[in-house]
Amino acid sequence: MTFTMSRRLAILLLVLLAALALFPLWGKLAFAAKFPFLMQKLTGIMILAILAMSLDLLVGVAGLVSLGHAAFFGLGGYVLAMMSPQYEAANLWLVLPCALGVTALASLVVGFLSIRTSGIYFIMVTLAFGQMGYYFFNDSKAAGGSDGAFIYVKPAVEAFGVTLLDLDQKLTFFYVALGTLVAVYALLRLLLASPFGRVVRAIGVNEYRVQGLGFNPMAYKLVAFTIAGTIAGLGGFLAATQYGFVNPAMLGWHQSGHVLVMVILGGMGTLFGPVLGAFILELAHFAFESVTDHWLLPMGVMVIAIVLLLPKGVAGLLIQWTTLPPPQAGEGGERSETGEGPHPPTAARRVPPSPASGRGEVKEAPP
Amino acid sequence: MDIWFFLIQVLNGVQYGLLLFLVASGLTLIFGIMGIINLAHGAFYMLGAYLAWWLAGLTGSLAAAVLLSLPLAAGIGYVIEALLVRVLYKRDHLDQVLLTYGLILIFNEAQRIFWGNDVHGVTMPAAFNWSIKLTEAQSYPSYRLFLSAVCAALAVAMYVVIARTRFGMWVRAGASNRDMVAALGINVKLLFGVVFAVGAALAGLAGALSTPITSVAPGMGDTVLILCFVVVVIGGVGSVKGAFLGAMLIGLADTFGKVFVPDYASFTVYGVMAAVLLWKPRGLFA
């Protein structure tokens, strides 16, 4: 069984992706004055979306709710900041593998210690490790303390002395972030479709049954935790490159909580949901902020409304919309309101298992 | 090290721990009985502090302000439970996290709208403008002793209510098996509402009582919330006894961390927590 998605939903997401990819063209016409700012904003959101997707692997798929995920995000950024020479460009082929290696190692160690606990205890242990990371950089003089550290020159992407990409170019970096976002999504989709991914998804549904089938859930959870941490590190590396600046707040629990909200709001376990969550939350923040000084108020109301009205997040709503039977097959609109109405057999067969309930799917594992 | 200096630090640690206990006990009860992870609990602490500061300014008396802020915090807690939290009992924990996160945003903004972004302070009531002289150079402020006494008295009262009364029996029963309590014909809705309101009132009281010794500032709820989660988890979720022990441990660890390793003071709290959980993954009493 794969991570199924209805064709309509796939088309909808591709349209959104295309709109995003073409933003440098139409955005300039639509928002002439704010265009540079919006480019920067969207690039930042895409990086946060990468972080949210990696957290979804833990929260939505494996059932491991981490409240310290931003620690690896910040760590990836700090590795870049610490390794960058002051007035020269760092070599990307050196700093990127180092950043990924360090975050992979850190998440392996933290994961090894945390996965012994579960439920709310796991939330709190990851919070504790996240805060330890925060205070480590906050209190250490070498890393700039609470002021953070600057990266004056962006890493150079060169091969044999030829510059391949100029990360200083806003447009180039926009597409680097977009490409990474799509690549991470594809990677995670492939991973979840693999035998390894199936076991991780099954753990999210029923860990004991997985154990009963002869798997060692701890090993699978640890690998998933390490992969998620490393992807978060990649996101942090990109964020540090974009802003040319790292500070301890990147690692703090506020950041972790913020990303967790993106994941839940967007729709856990769907991978694309957290991406939508990142865009909705950040763009809503931006929109409210430009209208009122008291932007937290509408923001809070929006979050609460989404929880109360959309139990499966925004992704759940999209899945529901896109899997409705076509109108000619029956009174589609009416039935969607009652939800539980009697489905004609043709329409019922049309409805694929919803990815939002990804936790439920694996129950049909082959005997 | 000077024995008096050590004593002062112990007293400070105990006082801080008792204050944390007031907030954390509500948090652990709400989680244990209602199964709700209430991120907005720290907001009630902040609310209590701001109400006390604001009412002290209006009435001119901190005592009156504290006594007035108590029913206000309880009432707001009860209304929030009835309007919003009640919908989520059957939902996933993460939905509750998200909802109460939304509440934090609203509380923080409401605080900014009503009381602004400034940091405020409450002057020490005249009755406590003295301190106990320990040596030539060291003395201990009377208000902190009073605060410890109030918190300790409340802790004892809480113990008596939970261990000796019918209401406490429901609370204990609710913490061990919620569905069974409902099946036995106890008005669970009311029980939940009262527990939530009492939790909010305790957190508000802690905030109100702490105003003379800390500043009333935006974001004060968040810090306390995280520390209280640490306390609750160390003690074992749902256990009031555990919350008490955890609060003492964290209060002392924080105070002594600030004295001995000032650069890594915040580290000590989380270090203690990680150590406890690696030793006992479900907390001390669970």
* Domains recognised in chain A with CATH numbers: 7-20+39-324 (1.10.3470)
pLDDT higher than threshold 70 for residue A347? no
**Cβ contact A278:A41 at 8 Å:** no
B101 located within any domain: yes
Per DSSP, the three-state class of A101 is helix
Task: Report yes or no on B158 lying in a domain.
Answer: yes
**Domain range spanning residue B80?**
16-117+140-216
Q: Which two tokens stand for residue A280?
A: 């909705």
In a domain, B258, yes or no: no
H/E segment holding residue B132: strand B131-133
- List CB contacts (< 8 A) between B91 and chain A: 311
Task: Give the best residue of A121, A254, A263 to mutate against chain B (max B CB count within 10 A).
Answer: A121
Q: Which residue of B has its CA nearest to A312?
A: B95
- Phi, psi (rounded to 5 degrees) for B216: -95, 110
Q: What is the pLDDT of residue A306?
A: 87
**Nearest Cβ partner for A121 among B84, B95, B281:** B281
Interface pTM (ipTM) of the complex? 0.78
Q: What is the pLDDT of residue A333?
A: 42
Phi, psi of A156 (to 5 degrees): -90, 135
Residue A295 or A350, more confident: A295
Mean pLDDT of A50-60: 95
Cα dist from B73 to A65, B63, B65, B66, B102, whole Å? 31, 16, 12, 10, 18
> Which residue, among A297, A302, A312, would best test binding to B if mutated, counting the most B CBs under 10 Å from its CB?
A297
Count Cβ atoms below 10 Å from residue A289 Cβ, excluding itself.
14
Q: Is the pLDDT of residue B216 over 80?
A: yes
pLDDT at A326: 58
Q: Please check whether residue B36 lies inside any domain of the structure.
A: yes
Q: What does the block give as tokens for B186?
A: 């106890």
Question: If we measure between CA atoms, which residue out of A218, A212, A187 comes closest to residue A365?
Answer: A212
pLDDT band at residue A352, thresholds of 50, 70 and 90? very low
B150 touches chain A (CB under 8 A): no
Q: What pLDDT sits at residue A362?
A: 39
Can you give the pLDDT at residue A106? 95
At residue A234, the pLDDT reads: 96
pLDDT in tens, A4-51: 678 888 899 999 999 999 998 888 888 878 888 889 999 999 999 999
3-state secondary structure A143-210: CCHHHCEECCCCCEEEECCEEEECCCCHHHHHHHHHHHHHHHHHHHHHHHHCHHHHHHHHHHHCHHHH
Is it the case that residue A86 has pLDDT exceeding 80? no
Tell me if A239 sits within 8 A of A73, measured CB to CB. Answer: yes
Give the pLDDT band (50/70/90) at residue A70. very high
The candidate with the shortest Cα–Cα distance to B73, out of B206, B172, B187, B189, is B206
Token pair belonging to B213: 């010794």
Query: Across chain B, what does the average pLDDT equal?
Result: 87
pLDDT value at residue A331: 46
What is the percent of chain B where pLDDT is above 70?
A: 99
Query: Using an 8 Å Cβ cutoff, are A273 and A56 in contact?
Result: yes
pLDDT of A327:
59
Alpha helices for B35-165 (secondary structure H): 41-59, 62-83, 93-115, 142-164
Rounded Cα gap, residues B270 and A125, in angstroms: 9
B21 touches chain A (CB under 8 A): no
In this complex, do A132 and B37 lie within 8 Å of one another by their Cβ atoms? Answer: no
Say yes or no to pLDDT of A329 above 80.
Answer: no
Given this model, what pLDDT does residue A1 score?
Answer: 36
Which residues of chain B are within 8 Å of residue A125 when distances are taken between CB atoms? 273-274, 277
Candidates A120, A128, A301; nearest CB to B237: A120
Residue with tokens 């699978």, as numbered in its chain: A220
Q: Which residues pair with B141 in a beta bridge?
A: B131
CA A32 to the chain's CA centroid: 29
- From the list B226, B229, B267, the residue facing A135 with the nearest CB is B267
* pLDDT category of residue A193 using cuts at 50, 70 and 90: very high
Chain B: residue nearest A114 by CA?
A: B278
CA B105 to chain centre: 19
| Dist CA B197 CA B93 (whole Å) | 20
pLDDT of residue A251: 92
User: C-alpha distances in angstroms, A153 versus A43, A248, B284?
Assistant: 18, 20, 50
Partners of B87 on chain A (C-beta within 8 Å) are 308
Closest partner residue to B229 (CB to CB) among A124, A136, A265 is A124
pLDDT exceeds cutoff 60 at A342: no
In-domain check, residue B126: no
In a domain, B231, yes or no: no
Q: What is the mean pLDDT of chain A?
A: 84
Say which residue, B53 or A3, is predicted with more confidence: B53
pLDDT tens track for A114-140? 888 888 788 878 888 888 888 888 877
Could you give the CA distance from residue A297 to residue B123 in angstroms, rounded to a whole number? 31
Q: Which two tokens stand for residue B219?
A: 């974001």
Task: Establish if B97 belongs to a structural domain.
Answer: yes
Which residues, at least 6 apart from A66, have a Cβ–Cβ distance to it below 8 Å? A55, A58, A59, A114, A122, A123, A126, A225, A228, A256, A260
Cβ contact A304–B95 (<8 Å) = no
Q: Quick one: A108 exposed, middle or buried, by C-beta within 10 A (0-12, 13-18, 19+)?
A: middle
Are residues B274 and A307, on separate chains, in Cβ contact within 8 Å? no
Q: What number of C-beta contacts closer than 8 Å exist between A and B?
A: 115
Q: Which residue of A has its CA nearest to B230?
A: A124
Cβ-proximal residues to B213 (8 Å cutoff; 6+ apart), any chain: B141, B143, B144, B147
- Closest in A117, A136, A311 to B95, CB measured: A311
Sign (positive or negative) of CA dihedral B193, A121, A127, A280 = negative
Per-residue model confidence as pLDDT tens digits over B180-189? 888 888 888 8
Q: What's the confidence (pLDDT) of residue A110?
A: 92
Torsion, Cα A206 A210 A213 A215, to 10 degrees, reads -170
The whole-number pLDDT of residue A361 equals: 39
Q: Residue B125 falls within a domain, yes or no?
A: no
Q: Please check whether residue B151 touches A, CB under 8 A.
A: no
pLDDT at A350: 43
Element (H, E) at B141: strand B139-141
Where does the pLDDT of residue A170 fall: very low under 50, low under 70, confident under 90, or very high at 90 and above? confident
Q: Is the pLDDT of residue A248 over 70?
A: yes
- Collect all residues from A whose CB is shorter than 8 A from any CB in B: 59, 65, 113, 116-118, 120-121, 124-125, 127-129, 131-132, 135-136, 138-139, 253-254, 257, 260-261, 264-265, 268, 294-297, 299-304, 306-308, 311
| pLDDT for res A2 | 42
Q: Residues of A with CB below 8 A from B267's CB?
A: 132, 135-136, 139
Contact with chain A for residue B164, Cβ under 8 A? no
How many structural domains are present in chain B? 1
Exposed (0-12), middle (13-18) or buried (19+): which is B79, by Cβ within 10 Å?
A: middle
Mutate to test the interface with A, among B233, B250, B284 (most CBs of A within 10 A): B233
The helix-helix angle for B142-164 and B166-176 (nearest 10°) equals 80
- Confidence bin at B122 (pLDDT 50/70/90): confident
